[in-house]
A and B are shown apart, each in its own frame.
Chain A
Amino acid sequence: MTHRTHPLLIVMTVLVYFFLLGPLVIIFGASVSDTTFLAFPPQGLTLHWFENIWEISAFRRTIVTSFQVAIMGTLLALLIGIPAAYALNRHRIHLPGWLSTLFILPILVPEIVIGFSLLRSVNVGLGVPVFASLLIGHTLLVLPYVVRVISAALASFDFSIEEAAISLGSHPVKTFFTIVLPNVRSGVIAAFILAFITSINDVSVSLFLTGPGISTLPIQILAHVEQFFDPTVASVSVLLMMLTIIVMIIVERTLGLTIVAK
């Protein structure tokens, strides 16, 4: 903080932020435009395109599917991810180093390759139905976030408290639910939210795992843009942004946004 920042740098930064946020403002504008094509600035104001979302059955269906998959996928990832994160922190010395890398793999392998491979092996190969394959894909997609965020939360937990409870005769499983879990509650909330948002927005994994009748919202948006190019997609996008804002407020209230930036 000893030097003043050069004015030119500040101008550049303002421009970058304008670049970051301008397009999102434009979507807001286009979503209320009184035209049948996408326009900005809006010609006249209307909320018709928001109504239109509910009138188009494909949007209704895919919104429901997206929420089902995101919630169920996230819960499944928590179910297998929490014990894994706990084991990585509590029993690290007994576990090989590559195990933590294993849980990061779904981030390392290109999403589109994961999607295609699941289609080949699980959906077509094993005959697993479309919805179940989609759920498997999303569980896998969000698992790394769950394991990392909960590991971070457990890393700052003092395990001697758990030891004390066990040595006083509390059952290890009961101790986990009454002592450990409540202490890392904020990590679990953060993991849930981050996983949910990741799943709701996913394109590349879902791309191959959606079929006739079962599709997710981002895939439906892609299909709709190609066919119609009307402001409906802008209003769906606004709804998704509002969801993001609500999520950010929840995260900020419960634990501060730095956890997302990590």
Chain B
Amino acid sequence: MKRLAGWMLSSPATLAVSLFLIIPVAATISATFTSPGGTFAPYGEFFASGFQRTVLWRTFEVAAITTVISLILGLLTAYVVSRSPPWMKSVLVILAVFPLLTGVVVRSFAWLIILGRNGVLNNTLEWLGVIERPMALLYSQTSVVIALIYIFIPLMILVLIGVLENIPDDLLQASSSLGASPTATFLQITLPLATPGLIVGAVLVFTASFTSYATPHLLGGTRQMMMGTFLHQRAMVSFDWVSASTVAAIMVVVIVTTVLVMTRIAKRLNPMAS
């Protein structure tokens, strides 16, 4: 009776996820294997094109740079926030949550105003006399990376604050009372204990950057196509659904592999668990 109740209560949600997520995504992926050209033909075509290899590589590169910079800045910020007095900590957490709750479109759009030809940055630099003519900052890989860091760093900060707060204060006190310098304590106690959290944050930022659409679309344009913008272009501009499905399948494989490998590493590295 109880066994049945559990299944019955969870069945509507299970059904919805199966019908509208698992089956459609599986259909998209399987469509790449049943194309007239042969089982792996769409993948052969994808990797045969230099342009498409560039798109895939660019997406990796942009996501990786975004992740590394977010990790460094996020760790420094989270470290300071987690050690600040309680009232200030809550203010800083609220200030990090606010951008996160503001949409990706709005936040990407902000960088159009900043990096545009008549944007805040060009105007300021001209006014300061650093440059004479406005620079073309938009539609470059750098502009996409800056905006992606901007969009995903709150995620990193919030994850890392949580992780750093979970490190017992006794350990840090023991370390310093035994004569370790703050830097040594950070490198030998805090950092190893925070590593699983750093991995979680890195996975979140990497996967989100890798699959992003609005930011590369607005700040990269067609010149800096990434996998997300490329998928949309294939499906809605070229109407080449097999090719779009192939892009989708590659994205799923990259994301699932990243998540599985990294969570396994995070589990193995967790010194608190053992």
Min Cβ gap B94→A in Å is 6
B113 within 8 A of A: yes
- Chain A residues whose CB sits within 8 angstroms of the CB of B241 once the complex forms: 120
Cα A203 to Cα B24 in complex, Å, equals 19
**B187 lies within 8 A of chain A by Cβ:** no
* Interface flag for B23 (CB, 8 Å): yes
Q: Is A188's beta carbon under 8 Å from chain B?
A: no
CB of A214, distance to nearest CB on chain B (Å) = 15
Which parts of B209-237 form the interface with A (CB within 8 Å)?
210-214, 217-218, 228, 231-232, 235-236
Number of cross-chain contacts by CB at 8 Å:
265
Residue B269 at the chain A interface, CB threshold 8 Å: no
- Checking A10, A122, A247, A262 against B24 with a beta-carbon cut-off of 8 angstroms, the contacting residue is A122
Contacts A109-B252, A117-B248, A222-B218: A37 and B118 contacting too (C-beta < 8 A)? yes
Nearest B residue to A27 via CB reads: B110
Q: Residue A152 at the B interface, CB < 8 A? A: no
| Cβ-based interface call for A111 (8 A) | yes
Please state if B79 and A9 are interface contacts (CB–CB under 8 Å).
Answer: yes
B104, CB-defined interface residue at 8 Å: yes
* Bound CA–CA A16/B71 (angstroms): 12
Chain A 200-234 interface mask (CB, 8 Å, partner B; 1/0): 11011001100000000010011001000100011
With contact pairs A38-B116, A112-B231, A113-B252 given, residues A120 and B24 touching in the complex (Cβ less than 8 Å): yes
Known: A12-B77, A91-B2. A240 touches B97 (CB 8 A): no
Q: Is the CB of A30 within 8 A of B211?
A: no
Q: Is the CB of A3 within 8 A of B9?
A: no
Number of interface residues of A (CB under 8 A): 89
Bound Cα distance A122, B10 (Å): 23
Q: How many residues of B contact A (CB 8 A)?
A: 91
Interface segment among A47-55, A136-144, A157-165, A179-187: the answer is: A136-144
Closest to B96 in A: A20
- 7 A-B contact pairs sorted by A residue (CB < 8 Å): A24-B107, A83-B13, A109-B255, A114-B21, A197-B101, A204-B211, A261-B161
Residues of B within 8 A of A (CB): 2-3, 5-7, 9-10, 12-14, 16-17, 20-25, 27-28, 31, 73, 76-77, 79-81, 83-84, 90, 92-107, 109-114, 116, 118-120, 150, 153-154, 157-158, 161-162, 169, 172-173, 176, 182, 185, 207, 210-214, 217-218, 228, 231-232, 235-236, 241, 244-245, 248, 251-252, 255-256, 259
In the A-B complex, the 10 residue pairs with the smallest Cβ-Cβ separation, listed nearest first, are A91-B6, A201-B103, A23-B110, A110-B211, A121-B24, A87-B9, A117-B24, A84-B13, A83-B9, A80-B12
> A residues engaging B (CB < 8 A)?
1-3, 5-6, 9-10, 12-13, 16-17, 19-21, 23-24, 26-27, 30, 37-40, 79-81, 83-84, 86-88, 90-92, 94-95, 99, 102-103, 105-106, 108-114, 116-122, 125, 136-137, 139-140, 143, 147, 197, 200-201, 203-204, 207-208, 218, 221-222, 225, 229, 233-234, 237, 240-241, 244-245, 247-248, 252, 257-258, 260-262
